[in-house]
Amino acid sequence: MRILAFILLTLALTGCASKFRSYDGPAVTRIVVYKAEREVHLLHHDAVLESFDMELGFAPEGTKERYGDGRTPEGRYFIDRRNPESRYHLSLGIDYPRGVDQQRATEAGVDPGGDIFFHGTPREFAGRDDWTAGCLAIPNRDIERMYAMVGIGTPVDIYAARPAPNPMVLPDPLRPAPLGR
């Protein structure tokens, strides 16, 4: 009976996939986010390594100004923490608020908020549009890949939208190519 229980336990545990993945490819040197397009791109210099779909805060337009506004910040940030025990599967924190964010909030007399993360998506929120409090929600399978690829200190550039191409300007090698949707 003990042998049967051991075999069943072993089979059950081998069927459980780990949320922790390994990655041995090129380093992610920059993360680019286009809010309007709901896109996250992981870059190695000018090459796009991975691209993911995402959901935003419940008030997705405009940059974050205060605690509770449901907006996702825009600007240059850096990954400053990793949370393997996130209630949203896995998460990578960004260093919001930075100096300009804090100054804007101080001048307005408001709390700028904080705790902005890239994180996974719980089952009850899967398929819903823009449900976070300002974070960037990515499907769990994608946050697993992102978590494996991205280190502390990685720059994160969050834009309101992808810039329109200008026929008079050569393409920006740091801007990811269109995804062909």
List, by residue number, the catalytic residues. Answer: 119, 135
pLDDT at position 7 is 54
Model confidence pLDDT, tens digit, residues 105-140: 999 999 999 999 999 998 777 777 899 999 999 999
pTM summary value? 0.80
pLDDT at position 167 is 65
Q: How many residues are there in the chain?
A: 181
Query: Confidence class of residue 42 from pLDDT cuts 50, 70 and 90?
Result: very high
Per the structure block, which two tokens stand in for 75? Answer: 């600007």
Q: Which of 54, 130, 37, 128 is nearest to 92 (CA)?
A: 54
Kindly report the average pLDDT of the chain as a whole number.
Answer: 87
Judge whether residue 177 has pLDDT over 80: no
Structural domains of the chain sorted by starting position, each given as residue range(s) with its CATH number in brackets? 55-153 (2.40.440)
pLDDT at position 4 is 53
Q: How far apart are CA 166 and CA 169, in angstroms?
A: 6
Q: Which of 46, 37, 56, 32 is nearest to 150 (CA)?
A: 32
Model confidence pLDDT, tens digit, residues 45-67: 999 999 999 999 999 999 999 99
16-24: average pLDDT: 73
Q: How far apart are CA 63 and CA 57, in angstroms?
A: 11
Judge whether residue 172 has pLDDT over 70: no
Q: How far apart are CA 71 and CA 35, in angstroms?
A: 10
Contacts of 125 (CB under 8 A, 6+ apart): 55, 131, 137
143-150: average pLDDT: 97
Query: Tokens 């400053």 correspond to what residue?
Result: 80
Q: Report percent pLDDT > 90 for the chain.
A: 71
Q: How far apart are the first and last CA of the chain?
A: 55
Strand segments, DSSP code E, in the chain are: 30-34, 39-44, 47-53, 75-83, 91-94, 117-119, 136-137, 155-159
Query: Confidence class of residue 168 from pLDDT cuts 50, 70 and 90?
Result: low
71-78: average pLDDT: 97
Contacts of 85 (CB under 8 A, 6+ apart): none
Judge whether residue 174 has pLDDT over 80: no
pLDDT at position 64 is 95
pLDDT at position 15 is 44
